[in-house]
Amino acid sequence: MRTLDRLLALTALAVASFALLARSPLAAPASADPAPSADELGPADALVLLETKDRKDSLRLTNAGGRLSFGDRATDRVWSVGAVDVETCMKRLLATSEFADRRKEVEDEARKQEEQFRAQMQEIEAKYGNIGPDDPKFPEAQREANAVFEGMRRWREGQGRIVGKLAAEQIEAAYRRLVEAVEVVSDREKVDLVFRALPTARPFETDTMEGAGVQVQGRTFLRSPESIDLTAEVLKELGVEDEG
């Protein structure tokens, strides 16, 4: 009997010692992963989910570079999404002095040239007065007036090209600046995909069918959570959040 009691006591001591050893940090396997909290699962290399209906297909979820992966392809990732109101950002950028001052210079130059043409016509009117087709000087007055009109026409065509080229250059420059700001904000907020999207509630500021179509196309999302809107952060990065 004493032998049986002694064996039971030794067995209990061995079990207790093993339990203490198992909880000891010295006995724990080496791992860089922090211990999970009571409401967490893992760490694990992968999570396999079975298809609930016929259980034939399974989905294996893994961590691929900090992104949830559901396949072997580079596109089999769960990406974080953001959206930016490009129209507002572009308008505010183009309204800054950096862009507006150059447009004003072109407008001022055009206004001066228009005044020169107007002065030339006034000189012709003062020179010939209110003459009719029967006046001997009428052909000469008509030639001089036509020369001024032709010069004005050619100048306006050239001016149109200058204004169009300037607009194209400024729009591209503003767009490049916007993209740089989006990159900075996206890196900071850990956003992978950023969509161009107008707010669906914004009124259509157009009176043409073509303009309305553009407004529809610009509204990428028919519905989206406010949390994905990065516009305020992008405007802040551009330094135009308080400018109209």
Summarised one tens digit per residue, pLDDT across range 170-182 is: 999 999 999 999 9
Domain boundaries, the chain: 45-78, 84-238
Taking only the tens place, the pLDDT of each residue in 136-176 is 989 999 999 999 999 999 999 999 999 999 999 999 999 99
pLDDT bin (cut points 50, 70, 90) of residue 133 is confident
- Residue-level pLDDT at 130: 85
Q: List pLDDT tens digits, range 104-126.
A: 999 999 999 999 999 999 999 99
Could you tell me the pTM of the whole model? 0.74
Q: With the CA atoms of 205, 97, 164 and 212 taken in that order, what torsion angle do they form, in degrees rounded to the nearest 10? A: -10
What is the pLDDT at residue 34?
65
pLDDT at 33: 60
**H or E element that contains 195:** strand 193-196
Mean pLDDT of all residues in 2-13: 42
DSSP string, 122-189: HHHHHHH-S--TTSTTHHHHHHHHHHHHHHHHHHHHHHHHHHHHHHHHHHHHHHHHHHHHHHHHHHHH
Spatial neighbors of 64 by CB under 8 A, at least 6 apart, are: 77
